Amino acid sequence: MQKKQFDLRTLIVLALLAAIGAVFKAYVSVDLFFMGMKISDLSLIALPVMMAGIYYGPLTGGLVGFIAEAASFFMMPVGAYNPAFSVVMALTGVIAGLFYLKSQKTSLWKTILMVVLAELICSAILTTLLVHVFYSIPLIVLLPGRGIGILIKIPLLTMLIMILVDRLRPVVIRHNKKAASE
C-alpha cells in the first residue's frame, strides 16, 4: 500500500480550510444559551471540514475537523477545552470523505444523505450527549435548541456544498495537477 504524502500547496489549502472553519465557529456563529450555558450554536464550521473530506479524503477531512474545532476554541474560549468535541467534528469530515471516496460525482441526494447523516450522528447524537454528560444539562433542555439548529443547518449546508463542490472542482483538479507535476 502506497503512503499518501501531501505537498506544500495541499498542506496550505488544508490549513486554510481549518482556519476558515475555526473563524466560522469562533466569530461567525449564533450561540443559543439556556440559563447561562451554551446549548447549541449555529455555525458553518462543518462546511470547510466537509469540503476537506470531499476533496482530500476521510482522514484528511477528520484532521481538518479536529484542528478547526480546537483552533476555534482557542480563538474564543468558553469554559475548559474538551477534545471530545474536536473528535466529533473530525468525524464530520470522515463521514463526508467516506461518501466521496469511491466516486467524486456530486448529486443532490448524495449530498443530502451525507449532510443529514453527519448532522444526525455528530450534532444530534454525539454532541448532544457530550454536552449532557460533561455539563449536566438535561436532555429535555438540550433537544429543542439543538433540533432547531440542526433543522436550519441541514438545508443550508446542503445548498452550500452543492454550489461549492461544483464550482471548486476545476480549481482542485488544476491544483492537484500542478502538485503532481512538481
Total domains, the chain: 1
* 37 is a domain residue: yes
* 3 is a domain residue: no
Cβ distance 176 to 55 under 8 Å? no
Mean pLDDT, range 7-29, rounded to an integer: 94
Cβ distance 60 to 52 under 8 Å? yes
75-113 pLDDT, tens digit per residue, is 988 778 999 999 999 999 999 999 998 887 889 999 999
**Residue 180 predicted with pLDDT over 80:** no
* 41 is a domain residue: yes
**Residue 11 predicted with pLDDT over 50:** yes
* 179 is a domain residue: no
Q: For the chain, what is the total number of helices (H) and then of strands (E)?
A: 7, 2
pTM: 0.91
20-67 pLDDT, tens digit per residue, is 999 999 999 888 777 777 777 889 999 999 999 999 999 999 999 999
Average pLDDT value for the chain: 90
* 146 is a domain residue: yes
**Residue 4 predicted with pLDDT over 80:** no
* 141 is a domain residue: yes
* 180 is a domain residue: no
* 181 is a domain residue: no
DSSP code of 113?
A: H
Residue whose C-alpha cell is 480550510: 17
Domain of 161: which CATH number? 1.10.1760.20
- Close Cβ partners of 157 (under 8 Å, ≥ 6 residues apart): 44, 46, 47, 50, 115, 119
Domain that residue 54 falls in: 8-170
